[in-house]
């Protein structure tokens, strides 16, 4: 676990928390939901000014880090966003930015994403229920004037508010990634009802979308390794966000257990409540440990990165929703009301647990990575 963050990281966390407390309190999150808005453009631009979109981009392209480790610095932002169930396409935009900047592709797009004036979505192919394949049926055919893209991706995080979508497609030379504008002819984004109040998802259809060669990201036919790196980054940020939410929920549940008096005593003094809180604290620290270990492994390029991100996702995904449900029970009747903030956190952690592969999916990935399955290591792609 990260016991001693640098002074710069401590200051960055404090600055991020103050900004979110001011710009996106929970009352504001509720207001966005009532207006049917995922996030405000001014809020996201300010986040860009604070460096939220710069951490995974090299300085030569306008990026930069706080402590020299971009992913670990960005994890701080994700934790603080989880702490306040704040809006914004942090995960999606940074996954796309990392990919574009690593291949020096579409610098004009990178510039807009860096400044927070545009947003992006990553069309990860969600595995089917009970299935082990993450690759969808999206296909791209090469012609004389470029590429024709057809297919569909479902439950794409942040798609309804995105200006660009990074999608992989099967081609005759292998899996290839494309950057597609959401306003291009043939692109249809259909918002879906999301569990989270402000974290939107949508289905994206590509109906014979015509793309020029410049839309290809990376080497044609060479997207398998890129997709794996993208999944690692996405899981690090998603797990950090979930842990940030759990931190905040347990903190105000402890406060409630001290303040709420029943039969002349604070409910936190009763053994049944104390034992449950102790169990929650133990699981929270384990969530922190697995999330931190996987983040360091990915940031350092460890050969165990794939294993550790799936360990973290499968553990956190399995425990986070039930941990928040335990906190609901400790709060009693007030915990199940719309007016209490608990359900905002329950929505966020439950949706996070389902996206980018659920618990079963990542346990199957672990079995493949460790050589425990009969057919050998068959991963998402």
The CATH code of the domain that includes 167 is 2.40.110.10
State whether 202 and 258 are in the same domain. Answer: no
Contact of 155 with 146, CB cutoff 8 Å: no
Average pLDDT (125-134) is: 51
**Minimum mean pLDDT range among 77-86, 123-132, 262-271:** 123-132
* CA 199/CA 316 separation, integer angstroms: 19
Residue 126 lies in a domain: no
Tokens representing 58? 């090299």
Q: How many domains does the chain have?
A: 3
Residue-wise pLDDT tens digits, 328-371: 999 999 999 999 999 999 999 999 999 999 999 999 999 988 88
* CA 299/CA 301 separation, integer angstroms: 6
Average pLDDT (130-146) is: 72
Band of residue 148 on the pLDDT scale cut at 50, 70, 90 = very high
Q: What pLDDT does 277 receive?
A: 96
Q: Are strands 216-217 and 139-143 parallel, antiparallel or unpaired?
A: unpaired
State whether 242 and 347 are in the same domain. Answer: yes
Average pLDDT (118-123) is: 97
Q: What pLDDT does 373 receive?
A: 65
* CA 121/CA 89 separation, integer angstroms: 8
* CA 202/CA 155 separation, integer angstroms: 5
Average pLDDT (264-283) is: 94
Band of residue 133 on the pLDDT scale cut at 50, 70, 90 = very low
State whether 104 and 81 are in the same domain. Answer: yes
Residue 177 lies in a domain: yes
> How does DSSP assign 2-13, residue by residue?
--S--HHHHHHH
Q: What pLDDT does 236 receive?
A: 98
Contact of 83 with 348, CB cutoff 8 Å: no
Residue-wise pLDDT tens digits, 286-296: 999 999 999 99
Q: What pLDDT does 125 receive?
A: 83
Closest to 5 in 3D by CA, of 292, 325, 299, 374: 292
Burial of 205 (0-12, 13-18, 19+ CB in 10 A): middle
Closest to 6 in 3D by CA, of 91, 63, 65, 56: 65
Band of residue 131 on the pLDDT scale cut at 50, 70, 90 = very low
State whether 114 and 149 are in the same domain. Answer: no
Farthest-apart Cα atoms in the chain, separation: 80
Q: What pLDDT does 127 receive?
A: 57
On average, the pLDDT of the chain sits at 92
Q: Are strands 216-217 and 261-262 parallel, antiparallel or unpaired?
A: unpaired
Q: Which domain holds residue 88?
A: 7-118
Residue 378 lies in a domain: no
The CATH code of the domain that includes 17 is 1.10.540.10
Closest to 38 in 3D by CA, of 79, 92, 113: 92
Contact of 71 with 236, CB cutoff 8 Å: yes
Q: Which is more confident, 82 or 377?
A: 82
Band of residue 47 on the pLDDT scale cut at 50, 70, 90 = very high
3-state secondary structure 40-71: CHHHHHHHHHCCCCCCCCCHHHCCCCCCCCHH
């Amino acid at each position: 676990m990260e016991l001693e963050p640098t002074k710069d990281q401590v200051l960055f966390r404090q600055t991020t928390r103050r900004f979110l407390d001011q710009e996106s309190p929970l009352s504001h999150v509720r207001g966005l939901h009532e207006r049917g808005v995922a996030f405000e453009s001014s809020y996201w631009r300010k986040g860009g000014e604070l460096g939220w979109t710069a951490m995974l981009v090299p300085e030569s392209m306008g990026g930069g880090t706080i402590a020299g480790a971009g992913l670990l610095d960005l994890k701080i932002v994700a934790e603080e966003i989880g702490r306040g169930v704040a809006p914004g396409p942090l995960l999606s935009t940074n996954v796309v930015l990392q990919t574009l900047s690593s291949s020096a592709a579409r610098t004009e797009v990178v510039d807009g994403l860096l400044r927070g004036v545009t947003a992006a979505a990553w069309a990860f192919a969600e595995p089917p229920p009970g299935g082990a394949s993450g690759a969808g049926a999206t296909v791209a055919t090469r012609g004389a004037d470029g590429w024709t893209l057809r297919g569909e991706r479902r439950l794409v995080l942040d798609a309804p508010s995105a200006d660009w979508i990074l999608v992989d497609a099967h081609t005759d030379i292998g899996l290839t990634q494309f950057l597609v504008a959401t306003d291009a002819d043939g692109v249809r984004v259909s918002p879906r009802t999301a569990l989270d109040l402000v974290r939107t998802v949508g289905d994206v259809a590509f109906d014979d979308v015509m793309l020029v060669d410049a839309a290809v990201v990376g080497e044609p036919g060479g997207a398998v390794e890129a997709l794996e790196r993208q999944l690692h980054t996405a899981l690090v940020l998603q797990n950090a966000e979930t842990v940030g939410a759990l931190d905040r929920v347990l903190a105000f549940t402890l406060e409630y257990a001290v303040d709420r008096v029943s039969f002349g005593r604070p409910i936190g003094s009763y053994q049944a409540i104390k034992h449950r809180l102790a169990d929650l604290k133990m699981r929270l620290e384990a969530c922190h440990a697995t999330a931190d270990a996987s983040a360091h492994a990915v940031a350092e390029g460890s050969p165990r990165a794939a294993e550790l991100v799936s360990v973290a996702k499968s553990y956190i995904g399995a425990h986070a929703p039930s941990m928040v449900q335990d906190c609901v029970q400790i709060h009693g009747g007030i915990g199940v009301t719309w007016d209490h903030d608990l359900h905002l956190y329950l929505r966020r952690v439950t949706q996070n647990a389902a996206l980018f592969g659920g618990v079963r999916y990542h346990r199957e990935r672990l079995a493949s990575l460790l050589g425990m399955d009969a057919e050998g290591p068959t991963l998402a792609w």
